[in-house]
Each structure stands twice: as C-alpha cells, then as structure tokens.
Chains A and B, each alone.
Chain A
Amino acid sequence: MSKARMSPLRSSFVHLALAAYTVIALFPVVLTIFNSFKDKNAIFRTPLALPTTETFSLVGYTTVLKQGDFIGYFQNSLIVTVVSIFFALLFGAMAAFALSEYRFRGNTLMGLYLAIGIMIPIRLGTVAILQGMVAAGLVNTLTALILVYTAQGLPLAIFILSEFMRTVSDDLKNAGRIDGLSEYAIFFRLVLPLVRPAMATVAVFTMIPIWNDLWFPLILAPGEATKTVTLGSQVFIGQFVTNWNAVLAALSLAILPVLVLYVIFSRQLIRGITAGAVK
C-alpha cells in the first residue's frame, strides 16, 4: 500500500470502478436469489423486482426439497469437491515439494510435463476416461468423479505450489534435518504450514470448477444415487417446460456450500505465519 495519499477525485474514480465491477459480478447472483423467492408469474412479469408480500413464494424451495433427493445431491457434490480438493492439494504439494527441493535428473522436464495439464483441458480425454472407468467398473460411482477431478486439479496445484515452496528457506529445512525430522515430517510440519496461503489459493481455484461441473457427472455418474447438485438441477429444465422456481431455488441453494468453503479458505489466504521464522 502506498503511503502517499491519493487525491479524493482519484480515489473516488477507483471506488467507482470497483463498485461497478461488484455490481456487475453480483447482479446475476442477486437476481437468481430474489427470483427464487417469487411465484412463477412474478418471475416473468417483473423479473427485476424484489419479492413483495404478494409475490413472495417458497414454492421453488418446496419443489426442490420434495422432488428428487436434493439432500443426497448436495452430499454427493460436497463429497466429490472436498475429497478431490484434498487429494489434489496433498499430491500436488508432494509433487511440488519434490520438484522444488530435490535435484534429480529430469527435474525441469518433469515439472513441465506436470504443468501441461494447465494448457490441455482434461475434457479432451473424455472418451478414453469413460472407457477406462467402464473397464475399471467405476461408472456411476463418486470415486470416478474424484479421480478425474483430482487429476484435473493437480497441474495448477503443482505449478503454483512449487513456486511457493522455492521461497521456503533452505536453512529451515536443514535445521529440521539436523533435528532428526524425516523428509515427510519436514514436508508436513515445516513446509506445508508455511505455504498455507498458497494452498488456500489453489483450493479456491480447484473448488469452483469442480462444484460447477456438469460434464463429468453427466457422463461418468448420471445415476440417481451419484448425481451432483448441478446435474440434479437439470431435472427441472425440460425441452419444452422449465420449472423456473425450482431451478432458481436449486441454484440459490447450490451457492451456499461453496460460499462456506470459500470463506474457510480465504481466511487462510489472509493469515501469514511466516513472519519471524527467518529474517
């Protein structure tokens, strides 16, 4: 942050721009939530109006909770997202540690290879993945989704974390080695806590595409027992008739868990405990 004070005019422009961006970003979300509390007529007649006492209706939410196993869908989504993030972070961090800490032949090449996934979308391999999952008998299981999402999250995790791990002081790791910590203990007890902000960043970037994904649940796990929220909401969107109340209610509900996760991770983003470790 610069110490020089900005002129009021300049700072008001900055705030104007930021406020405009906030409005644009939040508008669809707010609109979705407002309309999810209105009856069907009101959604179409006055889509931008706030719900009033006349137009207020919870019909969307009751439909969602009655029809289909929405609690189950939520559970599926949460399990898939949380477990995938966990594995992507764990394996990503381990690979990143190896790449940044050890000198071995092919280190750079390995780093590039692991980062290729950032540039090539995993969906290109959908057919092969489906064939593989069929052969492994994993179709219609959450495991299939978790495996795919872990793979999808790894490249970015490795890329970001290896950069961060290079900044962790060598002396600290060496002090750990002299104190008799194993390489695993050094990784888990010294390095991971220090790169926690980076881990949170990666978690947020990994989480949102997984939560919102429709593609892989549709292809790998379309069965009733393994549906995720995004896939579950699709039952209300028909070719000819769409139950907008239910769709909007489902989407509003789907925001909540991801919001909670985001709040948890972003706390970590702000915290820095590295201060005082090394000068």
Chain B
Amino acid sequence: MGSLQLKSIRKAFGTHEVLKGIDLEVKDGEFVIFVGPSGCGKSTLLRVIAGLEDASSGSVQIDGEEMITTPPAKRGIAMVFQSYALYPHLTVKDNMGLGLKQMGAPKAEVDAKVAKASAMLSLEPYLARRPAELSGGQRQRVAIGRAIVREPKLFLFDEPLSNLDAALRVNTRLEIARLHRSLKATMIYVTHDQVEAMTLADKIVVLNAGQIEQIGSPMELYNKPANTFVAGFIGSPQMNFIEAGRLGDAEAKTVGIRPEHITLSRESGDWKGKVIHVEHLGADTILYLETEVTGLLTVRLFGEHRYAVDDVVYSTPDKASMHRFGADDRVIV
C-alpha cells in the first residue's frame, strides 16, 4: 500500500501554466524528493497530490485508485508543512490526535497511536503543552508526529526543514531518514536544498519550470545528468561548464566537469591558469582559477592545500568524468 501514479498533470493559474504535464510513478515504500529552484512548481505538484489544489487536467492515483476528485482528508495522506501549521489553541496531544478524532476513531485508539508516535519522536514530556511553548525543532517534530498518527499511505513533506537552523536541520533530517526506515512508508518530500535531496532520497525528481528534467537515484543524477540543468543543479560547488569549442570538440556545445574531478599541479597539466580566490573549508579547499583555455574554473581539492591568490597552477580534468552536452543542452552519450 502506498503507491502513487501521476499522469499528465497540468495546472494553470489564469494563463500562467505552472505544471506542464507531469508523469510520475512512485512505488510503495519509496522516498521520493522533488527538487528544483523556487517557482519550478514542486510545491504546487505536492498540493495537487494532497488535493489542496485542483489540477487543471490529469490524473492522480493512490494505490491505483483515482483521487482527483477526492477531498484531502479521504486520500489517506498526511502532510508536514514548512510553517508547522500546528493548531495554536490545542495541546500537542490534541494536535496529533485531531485527524483520527475527526475520522471517528475511539478515544483509546487515538490515545494509543498518539502515545506510540510521541514515543518515536521523544515528545512525551511535551504532550500537555501548546505549540507556543515549544521551540522550532519541537514544533516540527509535533507536526511530523501528527502525520505519523494518521498512519497514511503517503507522507507529504513541504520543505519541512527550511525554518530550522543548520544544526537542527541535520538532526531532523536524520530523524526523518530513520522514520522512513522504521515505518517503511511512502514519502514524498519537497525541498530546494540539494543536500537534503541527496541524503534522504531513494529517487530524486528534478523539476524546472513546471517540467520534470530527470528522475533518478541521487548517484544517477550525480554521475549521469541528463542535461545541463540537472548537471548544474546537483552537486556543490556547481559543475564547471566550458564551451566545447575551446576544447576543440566540434560535436558538443558544452562540456561539463565537476570541481572535484579536476586535479591540480604546480608543474604541469592541461590547462594553465592563475588562482583568483581560495576558500579553505578544512576538509576541502575550493579554488577559483582563471585559465587560458576554459576561462573561470572551480576546483575542489580534498584536505588542506597551500595555494595562494595569483599562484600559477596547471589543472587536469579526469577525462572519464567529463560530461558532453549538445546544442539542445541534452547529454551526448
């Protein structure tokens, strides 16, 4: 239980088309992440799946059942919002139990499920508190707990970590990953943060301007990006894009090479250049070079390196890790 099929979902606000025909299949138990820049339609798509937004056309099937006209509460979904969206006048316990209570579940069952979920998220000490008396991280855990209590076929997360600070974000990320393993539930998660996408997902859906650019596992997207958009979006620092003509490649338009697939030497190499900026991150050293052949080039070296601005260096790309893109920006295999 918990599969999802989307067939040519379109959504327009007035004349502005936000989703331009989305086809997607999510298998039971998968953790799927929608990722893309702001305004790419990923949140709208999630809302269409939840039933909070009507699709202009297309079909949403959950467990093979057509859901396009079913109200959100009857779709067997639960959603965690970026702004937590806890009911301010209810206690943590009532916040988590409200959905079940509305479905008419007996009180004992509601209590048992709330107790189980709060144990999972270590929320027991806070059950009698109101949302105003909780910290941001606790509030988000309550929101996740509220979703768990419903035992949905589909968990929907709408940028759940965006309001948390960096340390808390990592913790909550781990918690969500752990939850996914223990519940074995299907989860759909929207984020603009590619680190979240890479660390959590079984399958990443990269969206851009209302269309799916590529679907694949994190490593597929990293190693075999289908086009320049995905290549540039996944990976940090961003992939270097070099005009193919500069490298004497007549067939391709652009050649991409990730910063970590370039080696540096002071003596010899393919591309001679000058260091224009260095970032020392401890584990990594990131160098920005101006080379004669490629123009601006980002290089990521592991560990600490003593390069300084204006040093002359030679960089050599790992030929096997180069990506070639044609005039339509699609990869040439």
Contact = CB atoms under 8 A, between A and B. Distances in A.
Interface of A: 169, 171-172, 174-181, 189-190, 193-194, 273-279
Interface string B101-139: 011000000000000000000000000001111101001
A20 B235 CA distance: 67
Given A171-B81, A178-B77, A178-B79, A277 B86 contact: yes
A194 B88 contact: yes
B79 A174 contact: yes
A179 B83 contact: no
Contacts of B83: 169, 171-172, 278-279
Contacts of B71: 177
Q: Which 6 pairs between the two chains have the least Cβ-Cβ distance?
A: A276-B132, A180-B73, A277-B88, A180-B102, A171-B85, A179-B99
Contacts of B87: 172, 175-176, 189-190, 277
Nearest to A273: B88
Given A179-B73, A180-B103, A279 B84 contact: yes
B72 A178 contact: yes
A66 B125 CA distance: 63
Interface string B55-71: 00000000000000001
Nearest to A169: B83
B332 interface: no
Contacts of B98: 179, 181
A172 to B, nearest CB: 5
Nearest to B130: A276
B152 to A, nearest CB: 9
Contacts of A274: 88
Contact of A172 (B74, B85, B139, B146): B85
A178 B132 contact: no
B195 interface: no
Contacts of A279: 83-84, 136, 139, 163
Nearest to B82: A171
Interface string B132-154: 11101001000000100010000
A176 B139 CA distance: 16
Nearest to B143: A175
B131 A276 contact: yes
B78 A178 contact: yes
Contacts of A194: 88
Contacts of A176: 87
B73 A175 contact: no
B72 A277 contact: no
B132 A174 contact: no
Nearest to B102: A180
A194 B99 CA distance: 20
B50 interface: yes
Given A171-B82, A172-B86, A276-B132, 18 more contacts: A174-B47, A174-B81, A174-B85, A177-B52, A178-B99, A179-B98, A179-B99, A180-B99, A180-B103, A189-B87, A193-B89, A276-B130, A276-B139, A277-B88, A278-B84, A278-B86, A279-B139, A279-B163
